[in-house]
Amino acid sequence: MATSLADIVPPGVVTGDNLLKLLEHARDNAYAIPAVNCTSSSTINACLEAAKKNNSPVMIQVSNGGGAFMVGKSIKDPNAAAAGSVALAMHVRSVAKYYGVPVVLHSDHCAKKLLPWFDGMLKADEEYFAKNGEPLFSSHMLDLSEEPDEENIAICVEYFKRMAPMKMWLEMEIGITGGEEDGVNNEDVDPEKLYTTPQQVYAVYDALSKISPMFSIAAAFGNVHGVYKPGNVTLQPERLLKHQEYTKEQISSPLEKPIYLVMHGGSGSTDDEIATAVKNGVIKMNIDTDTQWAYWDGLRAFEKDKHDYLQGQIGNPTGADKPNKKFYDPRVWIRKAEESMIARVGVSMDKLGSVGTYPASSEPGYPDFGSVSSADAEESCSIL
């Protein structure tokens, strides 16, 4: 690689110009960053540890359902998902700097019916920006792919104008990802709608590029949410190159890949399909189903191995009066789940080519809370 990522992007949560530099580096050097859905401090820490272990940047993302879980399943307040998402983000903000790698703090699919959740997070971003000169989150996703293209793009434009003064990244989706996730069910969708056209992608680029360069497009190429055996999903990642070529021609870009693309529904994809997608400009791939299984599998294996020590507080194969606290202590079995998830995130980093792109720093990363001055914040706004 011509330029070392560590020379241009600091460790810790990255936003604004540093985020743009990170994703430019990924695009220009043909690797992608795994974006892992997290629902707890434990799953967050597992992702951060995997990033440190593999010398890779990482994206921590929260879904609407994940935010609702984070605040507590018993809470039925309409603002619960936003509150939980902010709580998750604050945990990442508190600990990310100690892992020595760049961390992108992102929110996942937001359908039209979930816009109040998006509004709540954006309000938290604006409040954090006013105090610290940068938003709480690095980026957000709007998934209005169920709506007509014109409405999808118009709503994205409206929100992007609000996000741009904070130099926030917007991810949007055009075309439909099959399967089901967070209450959006596309299991019976017309298969042809699973493939976005170059013209659709360019329409997004044309509208959003007038506001800011900080956006990415999740263009469907047969993707399906959920878990499937390799070969059971008909992915066509070569279509992504056609999107790049069409937009390049329309704007006369000197770049071979002028669009930042995102891959959803990667479970069951072959290594070759993932490699082709990354080669054609994918800079982020969502990981959820596989890491959910890995987290559970670590616990499952531990319970199987230590079953006879987990049937009561006292009594095990070594003696009827022997205590079992060191086996049922949550810090023991949660750690086993984390270790399994750490390994699986590492697999994704390897497949996406991000391993070794950022030697983990031994110095605490940026930013500390409140480390950006108000003058820096004003300068950030004036640039736009």
Contacts of 150 (CB under 8 A, 6+ apart): none
Identify the helix (H) or strand (E) that includes residue 105: strand 102-107
- Based on the residue annotation, tell me whether 108 is a catalytic residue of this protein: yes
DSSP 178: B
- Decide if 117 contacts 82 (C-beta within 8 A): yes
Half-sphere exposure of 192 (CA within 13 A, CB side): 0
- Report the alpha-carbon distance of residue 279 to residue 254 in Å, rounded: 17
Describe the crossing of helices 80-95 and 41-54 by its angle, rounded to 10 degrees.
Answer: 40
Q: Nearest to residue 101, comparing CAs of 42, 160, 22, 155?
A: 22
Of 7, 108, 119, 305, catalytic: 108
Asked if omega into 230 is within 30° of 0 (cis), the reply is no
Catalytic amino acids? 108
